[in-house]
Amino acid sequence: MLLGWMRWFDALIPAYTIERLFWESRTITLQEVVYLEMIYAVLVVMLEVPTGVLADRLERRRLLQIGTALEWGSFVVLLVSFSFGGFALAIALSGIGAALRSGAENALLYETLEQDGKTETFERSVGRLNVIGIVAAVLAAISGSLLATRFPFELNYVLSIVSLFIATCCSCGLVEPKRVMSDERLTWADIEAGFRFVWQLRQLLIMTSMFVVTFAAFNFIDEFWQVYARDVEVPIYWFGMISTVLLLIQVPGQLLAPILLQIATADRWLNGIGWGIGIGFVLLGLFPGQAGLVWMAGMAFLVGMVEPLYLGVLHHRVPSVIRATTESSVSMLLHGSIILIGLVFIVGAGMTLFIAFLFIGVVVCMHQLVVIFIGWRGDA
């Protein structure tokens, strides 16, 4: 399946292993990293839903092709940039590309399965695609860390550009499932349709909230584990192994979503995972040290379950006509949460990275308490 090859080369990015160190070598500070992340998130928030509507009205494969090409372009810009402005341009291209792809890939996958009468395998298919990406990322992490100890960081970016170019080429072979097409113009009713669908289903709204906050919080582990490892005096040659563990430990949750649902409902799993992520951040903040990398591994194990569990609930319920729009609406909420949590992170990072993680943990735990209270009121 071409989606699998796309996911493979899209994740085969050795640059990610030394991303923060490369950015620092180009004079990008920790606070500027967060500002760039916020630029990315703001662009995604602005464009997510309109591009989701486009994906539902036009060919979803076209948006995937353009989005992948823009991601390739962003790495080209990063390679030649030596200032905040250049990095901001690269992040903007990446954000626009992410918005174009968001919702379109899973909608294309679900309707391909629907066309073949295999929608019951959606969670398993999502998990397998994610595992393909994880395995590719592991190979990229190992090779990237080894290359970084012998060659300039720029080589990792050159190889990443090649991989993304191949992913773009793979996207050109995607086939659109048969469905009713529409050339009507976008309306505000279309843009809010996804939000309205989630809002009207109370249980889905609660699960969406847990998914959004949990995933948004873990984003800061993905982004700053390298800085954490450096601050607790882990040698750079261990970075590839750390990245490998943080990725591979997510595999069981990605593959076992159908089995997990036989043990307990998705909302119970998401609630428990949310508490695990919140407490993990608190431990990272209160007890900084190399043992904190173990907490990170535990958090990565938990977060591996989140996406297939939630997307299964969402796509089995949402109508086809607003499938990409609804997922884009959720993604917009996710990136909005990244912005808000990023503001909390900036306040903490003004003291230390460890305090920033502690603040995030407190926010996630408070959210879980609010979710419990809302659920209790609804059942009363």
- pLDDT reported for residue 183: 46
Is 339 within 8 Å of 41 (Cβ atoms)?
Answer: yes
- pLDDT reported for residue 299: 92
Q: Cβ atoms within 10 A of the Cβ of 265, count?
A: 14
The kind and range of the H/E element at 312 are helix 306-317
The tokens 């889905």 sit on which residue? 204
How does residue 184 score in pLDDT terms, banded at 50, 70 and 90? very low
- pLDDT reported for residue 187: 53
How does residue 379 score in pLDDT terms, banded at 50, 70 and 90? low
Measure the CA–CA gap between 298 and 278, rounded to whole angstroms: 12
How does residue 38 score in pLDDT terms, banded at 50, 70 and 90? confident
Average pLDDT over residues 243-253: 82
The mean of the pLDDT values for the chain is: 83
Token couple for 128? 């397998």
**Tens digit of each residue's pLDDT (9 = 90 or more) over 80-108:** 998 899 999 999 999 899 888 876 777 78
More confident residue, 260 or 73: 73
What percentage of residues in the chain have a pLDDT greater than 70?
94
- pLDDT reported for residue 1: 67
Is residue 239 scored above 50 in pLDDT?
yes
How does residue 20 score in pLDDT terms, banded at 50, 70 and 90? confident
CA angle 20, 26, 30 (to 5 degrees): 45
Is residue 377 scored above 50 in pLDDT?
yes
Exposed/middle/buried for 127, CB within 10 Å: 0-12, 13-18, 19+?
Answer: buried
- pLDDT reported for residue 217: 93
Range among 42-46, 93-97, 125-129, 335-339 rated most confident: 93-97
Average pLDDT over residues 307-333: 79
Is residue 196 scored above 90 in pLDDT?
no
Is residue 7 scored above 90 in pLDDT?
no
Which residue in 203, 223, 205 sits closest to 341, CA to CA? 223
* CA distances, 215 to each of 127, 156, 185 (Å): 16, 27, 33
More confident residue, 254 or 8: 8
- pLDDT reported for residue 296: 92
Is residue 48 scored above 80 in pLDDT?
no
Measure the CA–CA gap between 40 and 46, rounded to whole angstroms: 10
Query: Who contacts 157 (Cβ-Cβ below 8 Å, separation ≥6)?
Result: 15, 22, 75, 78, 79
Average pLDDT over residues 134-145: 84
Q: What is the CA radius of gyration of the chain?
A: 20
- pLDDT reported for residue 227: 84
How does residue 153 score in pLDDT terms, banded at 50, 70 and 90? confident
Range among 69-78, 229-238, 320-329, 369-378 rated most confident: 69-78
The kind and range of the H/E element at 263 are helix 257-263
